[in-house]
Structure 1
């Protein structure tokens, strides 16, 4: 099968920098798109597991005893990532922990709140501790601690942006041991994970997790007020957090959440570097 990067469209998006995104993230995504299995297995598996997900979702919402198995869930995911998920997809997953942690820490730090997120795994095994469940809970905890986004909160914002909690992403710090069996692309891997998450989380835990994406718009609004850039809301595909959704179209919403954090991380990191250069010039 010829390389998909020979497509004129893929060449175009490879060079389009209209939306902020780091070169490393673009390269990983282009390699993921060039995965032959993505174009053969993904449509079939997404259909099968989407049907299965809705069946599991229905069963979990019946008046039956609720159960969860967080540790087993995380061990299974890490084992699957180690043996079957492509290195590019694994690196995108690890980057996502870091991008969202930085965004939430910037938001808290620049509104004078103490809550910090420390989820920066560098290997697949690190995700046994910096888990996906913790990832969701930290997002909710951040919003609980932030409270209302009103004029009184905005008046507490310091004149200069604060970056002490920011950890710039260095791809050399990530470590993935490549295996010949690691063939599955990002979206196919997520299709396989969806049912497992739904089955091994309590019904409200899973409902909250798949609706947490809708806080993207709120994050963009709040950070846009801090840096005086209302255009950030254009990055958010997932919106209106009061409107709770089920598992329909979950794969796309999950993927767009990942793009949102990459775009916003790149925007903020560019701002951080510009401020750093400006301060260095002023100190000369």
Structure 2
């Protein structure tokens, strides 16, 4: 895992500049170097370049086919626990270390983002953090629970705000205490000979399976949860008194759900926006404590 990705090992050639090196060196977005390095290593791999263009249309065709098939299945037909066991098995055996690391990080970052909003909102609200330490922890239906957590949080928060007759606003002192770098190590991820599949290809492959083995209601809720990126971004911006940070959240309006055919691509954007929101909050935490923002880790 200490081997440098090609775009870093090769260096800069002015006659043939690497777009991945440009994105890695660019500091316009608030991602730590270790996260950006893993993200771009995954994005520049062979499976994403050569396999994804074939997988994506096939996966979307299967989504349409499965939707037709499910019209003849019982409405509550669901095998969530089996689904999560298959997903964990596939992640451990076929998905790249970088992709698995980013997936596990996402649960921790999402839990911290909700905890940040809860701690700083003008009303009392509880959260249910999901913080898997290894891939096998996902077997406990964590993907479905992640979606349920998000919708339940938005409902409870806004119900409490309505009952109290208040709006979200910046508190006198912002509490960043719940924010930290997740204790998940890239080198601990599976690194077998078959662990080659990039994040986007894995998501495109798993999305039809997700649709097949969950109820229509669960699948649609999971797809529509991606529209809440902008909602969470607005909450954070109001608490920080800094609406300009919404520039990193761009998934269209939350009141306009998109087709499930693009769920895989939007899920990748969801993961990236969560990483960026967490990075912004970590920088602000460091500034509040009187230190410098976290130093990038190459």
Pair in the same fold by TM > 0.5: yes
1:23, distance to aligned residue in structure 2 (A): 1.6
Alignment of 1:12-51 (within 5 A): 12-51=22-61
1:63, distance to aligned residue in structure 2 (A): 7.6
Alignment of 1:51-66 (within 5 A): 51-61=61-71, 64-66=74-76
- 1:33/1:108 CA distance change after superposition, 3 Å: same
Matched, 1:162 2:175: yes
Distance 1:162 1:62 in 2: 51
Q: Please, which moves more after superposition, 168-177 or 111-120?
A: 168-177
Give 2:209's aligned residue: 196
Superposed CA deviations along residues 23-61 of structure 1, whole A, max 9, x for unmatched, are 221011121123212212111111211111122123335
Q: 8 Å contact 1:4–1:10 — kept in the other structure?
A: yes
Q: 8 Å contact 1:73–1:196 — kept in the other structure?
A: yes
Give 1:282's aligned residue: none
1:64, distance to aligned residue in structure 2 (A): 4.3
1:62, distance to aligned residue in structure 2 (A): 5.8
- 1:62/1:162 CA distance change after superposition, 3 Å: farther
Alignment of 1:7-156 (within 5 A): 7-61=17-71, 64-111=74-121, 112-129=123-140, 131-147=142-158, 152-154=166-168
- 1:174/1:214 CA distance change after superposition, 3 Å: farther
Number of paired residues? 276
Q: 8 Å contact 2:75–2:216 — kept in the other structure?
A: no
Give 2:290's aligned residue: 277
CA-atom RMSD, angstroms? 2.3
Q: Which runs of 5+ in 2 are unaligned?
A: 11-16, 292-298
Could you list the structure 1 runs, at least 4 aligned residues long, displaced by more than 6 angstroms after superposition: none
Superposed CA deviations along residues 174-195 of structure 1, whole A, max 9, x for unmatched, are 7323211111010110111001
Q: 8 Å contact 2:7–2:18 — kept in the other structure?
A: no
1:173, distance to aligned residue in structure 2 (A): 8.3
Distance 2:97 2:204 in 1: 17
Superposed CA deviations along residues 145-202 of structure 1, whole A, max 9, x for unmatched, are 11166771336x6311123433432444873232111110101101110011101111
Distance 1:63 1:47 in 2: 25
Superposed CA deviations along residues 261-281 of structure 1, whole A, max 9, x for unmatched, are 011010011111111226xxx
- 1:153/1:126 CA distance change after superposition, 3 Å: same
Q: TM-score, normalised by structure 1?
A: 0.89
1:207, distance to aligned residue in structure 2 (A): 0.5
Q: 8 Å contact 1:211–1:245 — kept in the other structure?
A: yes
Matched, 1:233 2:246: yes
Q: Which runs of 5+ in 1 are unaligned?
A: 279-284
Q: TM-score, normalised by structure 2?
A: 0.85
Q: 8 Å contact 1:78–1:125 — kept in the other structure?
A: yes
Q: 8 Å contact 2:180–2:282 — kept in the other structure?
A: no
